Structure 1
Amino acid sequence: MKTCRLSATAFIVASLVALLSVSASADDSPRPCAALKRIVAAAPDGFASLTPDDGKGVAQPYGDDAQCSGAHRSFQCTWTPHQAVGSDADALEAVAADIASCLPDATHDQNSPGRQHFYLGAKNQRTEITLTPAGSNRLRLVVSGR
Structure 2
Amino acid sequence: MNKTRILAAAIAAVSLGALLPCSANADDAPSPCASLKRIVAAAPDGLASLTPDDGKGVAQPYGDDAQCSASRGSYQCTWTPHHDAGSSADALQGVAADIASCLPDATHDQNSPGRQHFYLGTRAKRTDITLTRADSSKLRLVVSGK
Shorter chain as denominator, the TM-score bin is: 0.7 to 0.9
Q: Aligned equivalents of 2:48 and 2:78: distance in 1?
A: 19
Match of 2:48 in 1: 48
State the distance in 1 between where 2:112 and 2:27 align: 29
Partner of 1:117: 117
* 5+ residue gaps, structure 1: 1-26
Q: Percent identity?
A: 77
Query: Structure 1 length as normaliser, TM-score?
Result: 0.79
* Alpha-carbon distance in structure 1 between the residues aligned to 2:44 and 2:132: 23
RMSD of aligned residue pairs (Cα, Å):
1.4
- Stretches of 4+ aligned residues off by more than 6 angstroms: none
User: Normalising to structure 2: TM-score of the pair?
Assistant: 0.79
In the alignment, the residues of structure 2 paired with residue 91 and residue 28 of structure 1 have an alpha-carbon distance, to the nearest angstrom, of 20
SS of residue paired to 2:116:
strand
Long gaps (5+) in structure 2 = 1-25
Between the two proteins, the alignment pairs up a number of residues equal to 120
Check conservation: 1:50, 1:70, Cα contact below 8 A. yes
Match of 1:78 in 2: 78
Match of 2:136 in 1: 136
Q: Does the 8 Å CA contact 1:46/1:71 hold for their aligned counterparts?
A: no
